[in-house]
Amino acid sequence: MGSNLAMKRILITGAGSGIGLATASLLSSKGYHISATCRNDASRERILKTCSGQADVQILDVRDYAAVKNWVNSVGAIDVLINNAGLGYFDPVAEGKIEQWHEMVDVNVKGMLNCIHAALPALTEKRGHVINIGSVASRNVFANSGIYASTKHAVLAISESLRLELAGKIRVSTIMPGATNTEFIHKTDNQTLLKDYVPYFAAGLDPATIAEAILYCVESPEGTVISEITVRPDRKII
């Protein structure tokens, strides 16, 4: 790729582990300038180590709009925003905990909206790129994950609205992974479900695979938009 690509400044939320960390590592190895967020000092050190120090890392809660705005303003020019921060709790709807429902909506939807709203002026100025991390749950609803799926349906709907309204001003992509081998599933505290879900996710996709899909979107030729990518494990069920 040419030097113009390597000079792109890329913002990544939720980069402390899993898909976010794999993406920060891959993109920094390609020469992109990475500004990443995470939730604590341990995650910050992990990002810096994984990226060989070639990243700016901010401890940040995407639910805090003022903090997000300050972060975006401190970065300045932005070429790509990768909205990766997210979480999921799995439970039957009738047994769900309201605070967990609210947290999923606040992080997965409101947190993404905070980042988009704060970064959109800079992105439109640079004809930039928004990459939202959805899920196969962006299109399908599964037992024990209805509220999580609703947040990921929202991610896809927001991506589509941006793509339709800002065509020619920004590019918009949604990455929709199936089960991926990350710490994601360990937020769930339903021990009965975890007995099945932990090995199921452990046998899923490598986060590096999703990072490669994100890189493919970042490096897609000018004049094109990779609007959606769905990546599933090679098995009969997702």
Q: Just list the catalytic residues.
A: 148
C-beta of residue 15 within 8 angstroms of C-beta of residue 37 = yes
Distance in angstroms (rounded) separating the CA atoms of residues 112 and 58: 16
DSSP 3-state of 217: helix
Q: What is the DSSP string of the chain?
A: --HHHHT-EEEESSTTSHHHHHHHHHHHHTT-EEEEEESSHHHHHHHHHHTTT-EEEEE--TT-HHHHHHHHHHH-S-SEEEE---------GGG--HHHHHHHIIIIIIIHHHHHHHHHHHHHHTT-EEEEE--GGGT---TT-HHHHHHHHHHHHHHHHHHHHSTTT-EEEEEEE-SBSSGGGGG---HHHHHHHHHHHHTSB-HHHHHHHHHHHHTSPTT----EEEE--SSS--
